[in-house]
Structure 1
Amino acid sequence: MKLPKDRRSFVVEVPQGEFYHDGGPILVHYNDINLLLTCGWLDISILTIFTMHLSKLCSTMEQNFCAFLDPGCINEASLDMAPKQAIDYMCSALLQSQAQEKPFVLAPVFQDKHWIFFFFCPRKNSVFVMDPNQPKDNKTNYKIMKYYKRVFLKYTKEGGPHAKELNLKIHWRMLKCQQQYLGWECGYYVMKFMHSFVTRHQKTFPKNFPSPGVAPLPMDQLHEIRGMWARVFMDEHFK
């Protein structure tokens, strides 16, 4: 399907409550859609809308244990420019999601021009990380780590579910995952990781969680997730 030639961008509305906030518009540039369609770099608008659709998919499941954060509210720029707002948002989302008995809070996080998959499990004091370009020294120098400590402290002070049973030590767990071969692939890897977790592993995690090794994703699998999401995106927004 071809994109209209008379416009350069359009707006997608995030419904109120979708990401545990008031919702609002996402500006999507046609160039970013073209990059998705041609296996190029993925912009934050594309990953945000993907996350929104993944949340909708979860809402159709008989059992769902996943909640989702808005990537635009917790990316590197948001943490730098409005840290208090980001911390308040994350804490509010954790409080609401845990009250709904959704133990996993998922988010694609953008830092240093790179996408990483985080899923937070506040009732277990744990954060799991799947980084398709994991540092060889295995150090977890992610900016969100510093801020999440403040989020978790606020969460316990405000009486989050299971908070009285917790101590304040957060366990950061790097999960072995496939490693990208080129610089543009990280967004597709993160989409693959998120989709697999939601559709295959959320009910049994961490038991029976596969360790696929660190070899790059076969290109047919990368194109499969790209093609699947591109079709959903085009069908939903260009009917």
Structure 2
Amino acid sequence: MYPISVQYLIPYSELLNLFLRRWLDISVIHSFSMYFFLSPNSRCAFFDPYKICGAKCESDPDDVIKHIKEVYEHHEDKRYFLAPYHDNDHWKLLIFEPTTSSAFIVDSIKKGKSEESYLISKLIPSGFERTFTWTVINCYQQPGSWECGYMLIKHMWEFVETIQHDFINRKWNTQEKTSGEEIESMVVDLMERWIKEVFGIRT
């Protein structure tokens, strides 16, 4: 998934939060991105959310650029590059298609935002060595203040499972709010496969 092997731990408390519909830690988000990366027929590479978060963009922008370059060069065969991105206490998904120099913002609290609302946008041209045209996608919106991690997982899953194969016709075009029941259903649907893949445990 990355040019060098990495190993991260998922605290039990964060797994519990996943089941209890609470704020999701970066370790859980990262493990889901690893799971989606392994999806059959995927044309997607993923950036490490630890390496590209807003805090890193502020404290060490050169390292963020370095990570973007390394992943891009390591996965030149991939069409899309997905960034599970966290800043200002909020998760969102950024999608990059280098072949068309297109970038897409999938944010479950999108009102009034543009690429300038995200610190990483200033580093992307240096990382990919090209200028992107940015689009803020109309996507599912979260009903409250804590669901962004679940919304990020939902958007990553939908993109890898279906949208990536016909992006023009299948991309999101809605601003409907996702209910708590829909979030719970998504977690249940994903859980068995995710646990098998990430932990090697049969359910």
**Paired residue for 1:122, among 85, 93, 98?**
98
- Aligned partner of residue 165 in structure 2, secondary structure: coil
How far apart, CA to CA, are the structure 1 residues paired with 2:166 and 2:60? 36
How far apart, CA to CA, are the structure 2 residues paired with 1:39 and 1:238? 23
Identical pairs, percent? 26
* 1:91 pairs with 2:69: yes
CA contact (8 A) 1:37 1:230 kept: no
How far apart, CA to CA, are the structure 2 residues paired with 1:210 and 1:217? 13
The residue that corresponds to 1:181 in the other structure is: 143
How far apart, CA to CA, are the structure 2 residues paired with 1:209 and 1:110? 22
- Aligned partner of residue 146 in structure 2, secondary structure: helix
The residue that corresponds to 2:35 in the other structure is: 53
The residue that corresponds to 1:223 in the other structure is: 184
Structure 1 length-normalised TM: 0.77
Tell me how far 1:237 sits from its aligned partner.
Answer: 2.7
Between stretches 34-43 and 138-147, larger displacement belongs to: 138-147
How far apart, CA to CA, are the structure 2 residues paired with 1:72 and 1:120? 18
The one-letter code matched in structure 1 to 2:85 is V
* 1:71 pairs with 2:71: no
How far apart, CA to CA, are the structure 2 residues paired with 1:71 and 1:28? 14
The one-letter code matched in structure 2 to 1:219 is G
CA contact (8 A) 1:36 1:230 kept: no
Stretches of structure 1 lacking an aligned partner (at least 5 in a row):
1-17, 154-167
The one-letter code matched in structure 2 to 1:80 is E
Going from structure 1 to structure 2, the CA distance change for 1:230 and 1:200 (only over 3 Å counts) comes to same
- Aligned partner of residue 72 in structure 2, secondary structure: helix
CA contact (8 A) 1:130 1:176 kept: yes
Structure of greater Rg: 1
CA contact (8 A) 1:39 1:226 kept: no
The one-letter code matched in structure 1 to 2:167 is F
The one-letter code matched in structure 2 to 1:217 is T
Aligned residues: 199
Runs of 4+ in 1 over 6 A off after TM superposition: none
The one-letter code matched in structure 2 to 1:227 is V
